[in-house]
Amino acid sequence: MYLNFQHKNSMNKIKTALLGLGNVNLGLLKILRDKRELLRSQYGVEFLITAVADSSGMAVSESGYRYEDLIALKSNKRKVRDLTGFLPDVPSDVLPLHANAELLIESSPVNLTDGNPGLSATKLALNKGWKVVLANKAPMVFAYDELHRLANEHHTRIAFSATVCGGLPVINVLRRDMAGASLRHFKGILNATTNHILKALETGGTMEEAIKEAQRVGAAEADSMHDVKGHDAANKLYIIMKSFTDFTGTIKDIETNGIQNITAEDLALARQRGNTIKLIASAIPQGNTWKLSVKPTEVKANSFLGQCEGWEMGVEFESDLYESISMKIIEEDPLATSAAVLRDMIEVTK
Ligand SMILES: NC(=O)c1ccc[n+]([C@@H]2O[C@H](COP(=O)([O-])OP(=O)(O)OC[C@H]3O[C@@H](n4cnc5c(N)ncnc54)[C@H](OP(=O)(O)O)[C@@H]3O)[C@@H](O)[C@H]2O)c1
C-alpha cells in the first residue's frame, strides 16, 4: 500500500453542495460514510455537506448535514423539503447563490432541452470560484467550452470523469495517461442499459422487461428513451471528442440511431454470421474533421467489443503513440459512478 499518507494534522474540510439526491449522490453519501476514516488518513480531507437539492427544492446547513441522515431521508422516500434548513421558493438551479460551499457535486437528471438545473447551477458555482464535479452530462453537452473558460477565469476546476461510462476511467486515461498522443480511431460501447437490453433480447427476454430491470438497479437514465435511442451514448462521445481531440462541432454532428428497432431475430441472424449487434459509438477521421456516429453495428462476436456483454461497457482507442488501448467495466450498480464522482472530488480538492 503506497498511499498511506498521514494527514491528521492538516485536515481539509471541504464545504460541499449536492445537486440531486438520487442513485449517484446517494451512493456517494454511502461511500463518504463508509470511507470517512480512509479519506481522512490517506487524503487529509473531509466533505461537509452544507447544501442539498432534489426535485422539491434546496436546503442549507452551516454545520453540515450528517451523511447518515441524508441517506435515511432518501431511503425513506422523503424529500429535501422535509429537512431543517429548507429554503421555500428557492429553485435548485440557483443553489450556489444561497449556499455556503466551495464544491458543487452536480448529479441532477439529464435535461436535453436547456441543460437545467445542472447547467445554470454549474455556471453560478464556477462564477463564485467553486470547484465543480459533474455526473450529469448535460452541462458539458450544452456548454463544454464556456464552462472550461469560466473555470479558468475564476482559477478553479471542473471535473467530469463520471459523465463518460461511470466508473470506467475513459476521460482520465485519455487526458492523463495518453497525454501527447493523437486519436486515430475510437470505438466504444458507452451505454450499459442498451447493452443489457441487447443481451436480454438475445436470450429470450423483451425490451420492456430489460428496461424495467435497468430502472430497478438505477442504471437507466431518468428518461430511458435517452438510452434506447442512443442519445446518452452520443452525449458521451461528444464529451470524449471535446476532451481529447480538435473536434469543434456540436452534438448535432453525431449521426445518432438507437436500438429501438433491433429484434431477437436480427441478433440471431448476426450470430449465424459469427457476429453480434452492439450499439457502437465511433469516431473516424475524415479529411480535417471527424465522422462521428452512434448506431447499432454488426461486429465480430469474438472481438473485444463483441465480447462486452450485458452490463459491460468498453472502449478501444487507437492513437499514434500507443497503438491500441482497450478497456472495459462491468457496471450494473451505479456505485462505480458514485466512486468516479469521489475520485474527481479528491482530485479537484488536492
Ligand atoms: N445512474 C448511473 O449509473 C449514472 C451513471 C453516469 C452518470 N449518471 C448521471 O448522473 C445523474 C444522476 O443520475 P441518478 O442515477 O442519480 O439519477 P436519479 O436517481 O434519477 O436522481 C436524480 C436526482 O435529481 C433530483 N432532481 C430532479 N429534478 C431536480 C431539480 N429540478 N433540481 C434538483 N434536483 C432534481 C431528483 O429528485 P427526487 O429525489 O426528488 O426525485 C433525484 O434526487 C444523471 O444526470 C445521470 O445521467 C448516472
* Digit-coded pLDDT (tens) for 53-96: 999 999 999 999 999 999 999 999 999 999 999 999 999 999 99
Using CA positions, which residue lies closest to atom 5 of ligand 1?
166
For 114-132, the pLDDT digits (tens) are 999 999 999 999 999 999 9
Q: Compute the Cα dihedral for 5, 8, 10, 14 and give only its sign.
A: positive
Choose one of 18, 19, 23 to mutate for the ligand 1 pocket test, by most ligand atoms within 8 angstroms of C-beta: 23
What kind and span of H or E run contains 308?
Answer: none
Domains and CATH numbers, the chain: 12-167+336-348 (3.40.50.720), 170-330 (3.30.360.10)
pLDDT computed for residue 10 by the predictor: 76
Instruction: Over range 210-227, report the average pLDDT.
Output: 94
Q: Report the mean per-residue pLDDT for the chain.
A: 96
Amino acid at 72: A
Across 219-223, 238-242, 274-278, 319-323, least confident range: 219-223
Instruction: Over range 217-226, report the average pLDDT.
Output: 92
Task: Count the neighbouring beta carbons within 10 Å of the beta carbon of residue 264.
Answer: 16
Residues contacting 281, CB < 8 A, separation 6+: 186, 187, 188, 189, 190, 233, 234, 236, 237, 293, 294
CA of 20 to the centre of ligand 1 (A): 5
DSSP assignment of 191-207, as one string? -HHHHHHHHHHHTT--H
Lining ligand 1 with CB less than 6 A are: 19-24, 53-56, 79, 92, 107-110, 117, 135-137, 162, 166, 218-219, 221-222, 334, 337
For 179-214, the pLDDT digits (tens) are 999 999 999 999 999 999 999 999 999 999 999 999
Confidence check: pLDDT of 36 > 50: yes
pLDDT computed for residue 227 by the predictor: 97
Instruction: Over range 279-285, report the average pLDDT.
Output: 97
